Amino acid sequence: MEKELLIKFLNGTANAAERRQVMEWLEQDDSKENFDRFLREHWKNVESNSADNTDYPLLLEKIHSKIFPETKIRPLWPWGRYCKIAVSLFLFLASAFFIKQAVDYKKQDPVLSERIIEKSTGEGEKLRLTLPDDSKITLNANSTVYFSSLYGVKERIVRLSGEAFFEIAKDSLRPFRVETDGIVTTALGTAFNVFARSGQVSVALTEGRVAVDGPQSKMELEPGQLARMDKAKAISGLRVEKFDAEKITGWKEGRLVFDKKPLKLILEDLERWYGVEMNIDPRLNLNRRVIGAFRNKNLTDVLTGLGFSMGFEFNINHKEVIIKKNRL
């Protein structure tokens, strides 16, 4: 670290970039020892310099005013060489003070203090979050949401992996954005569901208005509309369709609704929602489609209903579910 920069830092003439540079240096393991050595050497040079023109009373007063701003020093002896002794005593306090100031500066610097907050759910878990602007996120099982610690200061942006339902507080100056798997959904004040798994992304609007920006197209949705993109298909652009709110968002209220959904996908959903692992008989036809609804049912009740119509029996052993095809 350059001595000239440290001197500017100590006397308060360093600019923001220079203060940041010194502060980053002070975070290093050996910086405190080097900083103390610098103070001792600098003071020794001053003591041995007969041509020293430093205004020590003024220097002492400045240091004192920074450390003890509520009091004023009063001279008890003539200024002169004794003042150097007084200043040297204050330098120890000053060094600790300025190091603390550097740490406080870091806390106040929005660039250096920003961090990414991550909230996740495991299999069988759901999580409800309230953001600083009072927007609410309901996170489905096996999902993750990321947002900045400075969320709402200048912008409102979150990133999602999995599935979540968003209830957004209105703020015309700072639109709310959800970034997920190549799609950006922008809203002011609204409620919508976002799903993003295995290359399939969907945005279903239940209230208000949102703009959905995909890799190849952009559109605005009205309540009851769903924008869908499937990266596995040749045409990966957005397409709009109507949706049943209970089928899409019922999960957050414990309602499971299946409308001609393949048994394979249903069992995969149940693994995530209930936090279990399915051991499935390979003889079972997993392509058969299911129509049905379950409201606030436990896993045993759901599998009992499915097994009756799909022709299988099951056994639940802690976190493992064994599914076998019925014998004819």
CA dist., res. 72 & res. 88, Å (int)? 18
- Same domain for 217 and 124? yes
Q: What residues make up the domain containing 105?
A: 3-112
CA dist., res. 71 & res. 52, Å (int)? 28
CA dist., res. 127 & res. 142, Å (int)? 10
- Mean pLDDT, all residues of the chain: 77
- Same domain for 119 and 201? yes
Confidence of residue 92 (pLDDT cuts 50, 70, 90): very low
Confidence of residue 199 (pLDDT cuts 50, 70, 90): confident
Given 219, 248, 277, the domain boundary residue is 248
Cα 212 versus chain centre, distance: 22
In the chain, DSSP assigns E strands to 116-120, 127-130, 136-139, 144-148, 156-167, 176-180, 183-187, 191-197, 200-207, 210-213, 218-221, 225-230, 239-242, 255-262, 277-280, 289-295, 312-317, 320-325
- Same domain for 154 and 221? yes
Confidence of residue 122 (pLDDT cuts 50, 70, 90): confident
> What is the model's pLDDT at position 246?
83
- Same domain for 214 and 152? yes
pLDDT of residue 138 exceeding 80, the answer is yes
- Same domain for 121 and 235? yes
- Same domain for 104 and 130? no
- Same domain for 107 and 147? no
CATH number at residue 275: 3.55.50.30
> What is the model's pLDDT at position 245?
86
CA dist., res. 177 & res. 148, Å (int)? 12
> What is the model's pLDDT at position 106?
47
- Give the chain's domain count: 3
Please give the structure tokens belonging to residue 76. Answer: 């008890």
